[in-house]
A and B are shown apart, each in its own frame.
Chain A
Amino acid sequence: MHVSIEYMFLGLFVVLAVTLSFSNMAMVNILPSREIEQSQLRVKAESILDFILLSAGNPPDWDESVVPEVFGLAPANSSDPYVLDIGKVYALLNSTFQREIPRLLGVQDEYGFYLKIVPLYLVDINETGSNRFVVAVRSFRGFPLPSANVTGYYGDVNETLSEEQIVRTVTNASGVAVLDYGPSVSGDILIVVVSVSGVSVTEVYTHDEGYVNSKVEGTRIVESDYPPINSTISVLYGGVLVDGYLNVGMASKVTLFRYVKIENSVYYVEFTMWRLKD
């Protein structure tokens, strides 16, 4: 009996010592392994994001009516980097097309992703009186933007604007600017261009929905195929949004950022990617 107890203690001690050593060894292995996986995920995410933003796709002039063979948001006839085609960005709103994107990117069932295109500045326009407009400018994070250059183009489609129809001002400390046009000026559309250090965003204000598709070319208001993008456009695959925040469970994720230009306005692109299976 005495001998058995000695051997039992010896056996227990050996098992305990080895188990402890194993668990320490496993930690030493697992931690760098996670780091490596994270850096590999970053390489993959960089590659996919640049592919989305730099490639025009195939056919290069695809739109939402056809599913392209190669997905990409760059315009067909431009080689400027990080410039996106507004029609292709609007196609992201099509839920049928959204379902095709993981397959087109070759990440279906392997990786989840969340692509978000946000206007760099959020511009709210309120008409507070006859020919008087209050423009509130906020950053994409929601903070008021002081000292932003605000230019208002007020007139009709296909009209070459006079000096009185173009008002330039700067936002105050609360990120608010007032565009005050004289009584002689009239028009159906107000196009506001907000610019900070050369980075600009365009917003259209009109009572008539038919004039939303307008833009400024020089001193002329012209029709465009699409209205300016002034709200967030996003594509989510393999995750859920809880109160606007991305929830991907226990998976570790990688988030990348880029700035892109769409129709001369600057947008902030956030791309988050994670593995759907280990």
Chain B
Amino acid sequence: MPAEPLSHLMHTLTIFIVFVSILAVFQAYTLYSYTDALKHQLADIEGYVSSVATDLVILATRSKLENITLTKTLNLPESVGTYGYTVKLENRGEDCVLVIYLDARPSVKVESILPVKNVTCSGVVYSGSRNPRICCSRVLNADGSYNMTLRLEG
């Protein structure tokens, strides 16, 4: 049996370790929650941008004009949390993919495939851009089909 002062010391140390462990778990959980909240905010922006892009494609496909370019100004937040972010349109195979990620933490990102195939997608918009906009161009081919282009500018 250790002496009483030594026993107190050991137990205090154990309690201290328990406290530190709990603090570490708490920190990890807070970080996870914060990242989750940031992802939700990015997903909100993704939903908005992809909805605007989809609406432009619908309007362009239904236009009676042979060739048309539609532009819509995007109303994007200045930042997500305290972070700047990037909105990017890119082609992956036949898919048109919208990617949004935090500049300081690129691993925190959301992606969505737009419901259009073989459309030329390009462009990047950064948070804080003065005039972020999305353009949709449709050029009619001789066989009645058309070439569609989606472009982010800002």
A residues near B, CB below 8 A?
A: 3-4, 7, 10-11, 14-15, 18, 22, 25-26, 29, 33, 36-37, 40, 43-44, 46-48, 50-51, 54-61, 69-72, 74, 76, 79, 103-108, 110
List residues of chain A with CB within 8 A of the CB of B18.
11, 14-15
CA distance A37 to B42 in the complex (A): 12
Give the number of residues in B that approach A within 8 Å (Cβ atoms).
46
A11 with B14: CB separation less than 8 A: yes
Q: What residue in chain B is nearest A7 (Cβ atoms)?
A: B11
Q: What chain B residues lie within 8 Å of A26 (beta carbons)?
A: 29
Cβ of A40 and Cβ of B44 under 8 Å apart? Answer: yes
B47 touches A56 (CB 8 A): no
CA distance A69 to B96 in the complex (A): 12
Q: Are A44 and B11 in contact (CB under 8 A)?
A: no
Classify the secondary structure of B's interface with A. helix
- Whether, in the assembled complex, B107 has its beta carbon less than 8 Å from a beta carbon of chain A, the answer is no
Are B22 and A14 interface neighbours, CB within 8 A?
A: yes
Residue numbers in B under 8 Å from A37 (CB-CB): 40
Q: Is the CB of A105 within 8 A of B115?
A: yes
Chain B 2-19 near chain A by CB (<8 Å), digits 1 or 0: 001001100110110011
Not counting A15-B18, A26-B29, A40-B47, a sample of 8 additional A-B residue pairs whose C-beta atoms are within 8 angstroms of each other reads: A11-B15, A14-B18, A18-B26, A22-B25, A36-B44, A69-B145, A71-B115, A79-B62
B153 to chain A, nearest CB (A): 21
Please state if A106 and B26 are interface contacts (CB–CB under 8 Å).
no
**B11/A4 in contact, CB under 8 A:** yes
Q: Is the CB of B15 within 8 A of A58?
A: no
- Chain B residues, Cβ within 8 Å of A69: 94, 116-119, 145
B residues 84-141 touching A (CB-CB < 8 Å): 94-96, 112-119
CA distance A42 to B109 in the complex (A): 20
A40-B62 contact, Cβ under 8 Å, with A14-B15, A14-B18, A104-B115: no
